Amino acid sequence: MTAEPIPTPTLDRMKQAGSWNPLWDTLSQWDPEWTEQFMAMNATPVRRGVFTPEFVELLSIAIDAAATHMYAPGVRRHIRAALELGVSREEILTVLEMVSVLGIHACNLGVPILAEELDAYESRRAAS
């Protein structure tokens, strides 16, 4: 017995709009119902229209460019869309500069450890 195909209108719209990530293909094939529900839930805040389209694009640039995501196709797609909506280079650059702060945590973590380890290393060298 073959199951009826699960309708995936959200996934279909994403593919048509060019916002589908091909890395999701296998997940979508294996569990189209879950993938459809997840993507529909993910689209809900944008669909509600609380934010302007310009702000949505700037926020999307920040999310895709963040050190924890770094999804270049999304950054490109959202920069292109933002420019088409009239967002300025300065506004986009400011978003990129602001999101780059996420990377500072490497220094927040690493520099104090480096200082401790340098002190310990120098103490060991002085003792020998």
- The answer on pLDDT for 1 being more than 60 is no
Q: Is residue 20 part of a domain?
A: no
Domain containing 81 equals 27-101
pLDDT at 107: 80
Q: Has residue 126 been placed in a domain? A: no
Domain count, the chain: 1
Helices (H), 48-88: 53-65, 72-84
Does 119 reside within a domain? Answer: no
3 located within any domain:
no
**Residue 6 located in a structural domain:** no
With a threshold of 0.75, does the pTM exceed it? yes
> Using 50, 70 and 90 to split pLDDT, how confident is the model at 123?
very high
Distance (Å, whole) CA 116 – CA 4: 62
CA 119/CA 106 separation, integer angstroms:
20
Residue 68: CATH number of its domain:
1.20.1290.10
- Say if 53 falls within a structural domain: yes
> What confidence tens digit (pLDDT) does each residue in 64-118 have?
999 888 999 999 999 999 999 999 999 999 999 999 998 888 788 888 988 999 9
